[in-house]
């Protein structure tokens, strides 16, 4: 079985250099790094992960806590996390917190006890117990998709000790509202997500900004909460359409709620966009297979996942660096559910 010394001889470098390349413990010139990787490939060298973890006090594993089973949106993010981790030689331990505050705290403890080097977490709407645990045990953590606050509901209280990565939410939602207003709609409803989530707050803010920019009044009755789930959105959409003066257009704030809204419309025998226009936050693989095809905001799921890995590795390399919050742009995908005629599909950055 080849050893690290064999790799060093084949690459014409020192054993220390091989170690730095494999463990990422020090920058190495690109051509030297490639020579080491080529030697590893040619010799079939396999690093001893257990021995390495004993020396470095690291397991080269990352804990990922996202509700990927119950929320298809996180599946694409998971793929980005997995690819980013694998590229850097890290393995993943995955757990589903089910968007439950008590369960997510237990999940964090379970992953921590498995000696992961750090965690990437999509927090629930009430993550106080989770944040307290991670803070108390100084667990390197990146919050993903949903920004976490550690104090009162003020902008300055967003988790100061944790890195965070998310997509823009407010401006893209405002763009959907503005697009519908530009088509002549004056009563535009919003099926918002679970109260307490940063994504819910920001998309409601964007909705209001979109109305204001179009010169439309804000009617609280036109904002309902679908609780980020299909079933909740189905009930919420039915309530909107039962108003004395119902909306003529809808914005749904995530992909699961889009499905719920469409079910409610089908039960009422309403067509899209003939009876009511629809735009949604979250594009998904089959959105252009619906009839009509769904006008949507597409989030950069894989890039969010990959960026969360990089933020975590940066934190592991420099534990005292200032915390960062990274926001990535979304894309407006123009189809026909908004009432526009069919056209070649184009995405533009929001």
pTM of full prediction above 0.85 = no
**Residues 345, 279 share a domain:** yes
Cα separation, 209 vs 170, in Å, equals 8
**Residues 138, 16 share a domain:** no
Whole-number pLDDT of residue 308: 97
**Residues 226, 132 share a domain:** no
Q: Which helix (H) or strand (E) holds 100?
A: none
Cα separation, 254 vs 276, in Å, equals 18
Determine contact, residues 102/129, Cβ cutoff 8 Å.
Answer: yes
Cα separation, 232 vs 258, in Å, equals 11
Query: Does the CA dihedral 299-146-157-116 come out positive or negative?
Result: negative
Instruction: Pick out the chain residues at pLDDT < 70.
Output: 47-58, 68-71, 150-160, 286-288, 343-350
**Residues 339, 204 share a domain:** yes
**Residues 320, 267 share a domain:** no
Distances (CA, A) of 180 to 163, 274, 276, 290: 35, 14, 11, 19
- What is the domain count for the chain? 3
Query: Considering the chain, what is the average pLDDT of its residues?
Result: 89
Tell me the per-residue pLDDT of 106-122, one tens digit each, with 9 for 90 and over: 999 999 999 999 999 99
Determine contact, residues 147/164, Cβ cutoff 8 Å.
Answer: yes
Tell me the per-residue pLDDT of 135-172, one tens digit each, with 9 for 90 and over: 999 999 999 999 997 554 434 445 557 999 999 999 99
**Residues 286, 176 share a domain:** yes
Cα separation, 84 vs 340, in Å, equals 38
**Residues 344, 242 share a domain:** yes
Tell me the per-residue pLDDT of 53-74, one tens digit each, with 9 for 90 and over: 444 456 899 999 998 666 678 8
- Classify strands 141-144 and 223-225 as parallel, antiparallel or unpaired: unpaired
Which structural domain range is residue 117 located in? 61-167+301-329
**Residues 316, 259 share a domain:** no
CATH classification of the domain holding 104: 3.40.50.2300
Cα separation, 243 vs 78, in Å, equals 39
**Residues 189, 319 share a domain:** no
DSSP string, 277-291: EEEEES--TTGGGSS
Asked, as a colleague might, if the bond just before 196 is cis with ω within 30 of 0, I would say: no
**Residues 33, 88 share a domain:** no
CATH classification of the domain holding 29: 1.10.260.40
Whole-number pLDDT of residue 18: 87
CB atoms closer than 10 angstroms to residue 220:
6
**Residues 340, 227 share a domain:** yes
**Residues 154, 15 share a domain:** no
Q: Which helix (H) or strand (E) holds 209?
A: helix 198-213
Whole-number pLDDT of residue 21: 85
């Amino acid at each position: 079985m080849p050893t690290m010394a064999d790799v060093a001889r084949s690459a014409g470098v020192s054993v220390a250099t091989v170690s730095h390349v494999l463990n990422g413990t020090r920058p190495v010139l690109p051509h030297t790094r490639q020579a080491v990787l080529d030697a590893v490939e040619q010799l079939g060298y396999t690093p001893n992960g257990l021995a390495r973890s004993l020396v470095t006090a690291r397991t080269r594993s990352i804990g990922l806590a996202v509700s990927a089973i119950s929320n298809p949106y996180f599946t694409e993010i998971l793929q980005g996390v997995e690819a980013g981790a694998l590229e850097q030689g890290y393995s993943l331990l995955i757990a589903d917190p089910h968007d439950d505050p008590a369960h997510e705290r237990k999940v964090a403890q379970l992953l921590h006890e498995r000696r992961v080097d750090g965690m990437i977490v999509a927090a629930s709407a009430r993550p106080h117990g989770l944040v307290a645990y991670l803070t108390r045990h100084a667990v390197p953590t990146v919050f993903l998709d949903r920004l976490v606050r550690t104090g009162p509901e003020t902008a300055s209280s967003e988790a100061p000790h944790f890195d965070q990565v998310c997509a823009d939410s407010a401006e893209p939602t405002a763009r959907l509202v503005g697009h519908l207003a530009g088509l002549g709609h004056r009563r535009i409803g919003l099926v918002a997500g679970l109260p307490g989530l940063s994504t819910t707050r920001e998309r409601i803010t964007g909705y209001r900004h979109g109305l204001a920019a179009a010169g439309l009044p804000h009617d609280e009755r036109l904002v309902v909460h679908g609780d980020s789930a299909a079933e909740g959105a189905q009930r919420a959409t039915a309530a909107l359409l039962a108003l004395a003066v119902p909306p003529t257009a809808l914005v749904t704030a995530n992909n699961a709620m889009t499905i719920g809204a469409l079910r409610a419309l089908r039960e009422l025998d309403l067509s899209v966009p003939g009876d009511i226009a629809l735009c949604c936050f979250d594009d998904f693989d089959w959105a252009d297979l619906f009839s009509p095809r769904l006008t949507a905001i597409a989030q950069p799921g894989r890039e969010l996942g990959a960026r969360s890995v990089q933020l975590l590795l940066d934190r592991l390399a420099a534990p005292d660096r200032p915390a960062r919050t990274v926001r990535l742009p979304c894309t407006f995908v123009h189809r026909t559910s908004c009432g526009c005629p069919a056209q070649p599909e184009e995405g533009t950055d929001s």
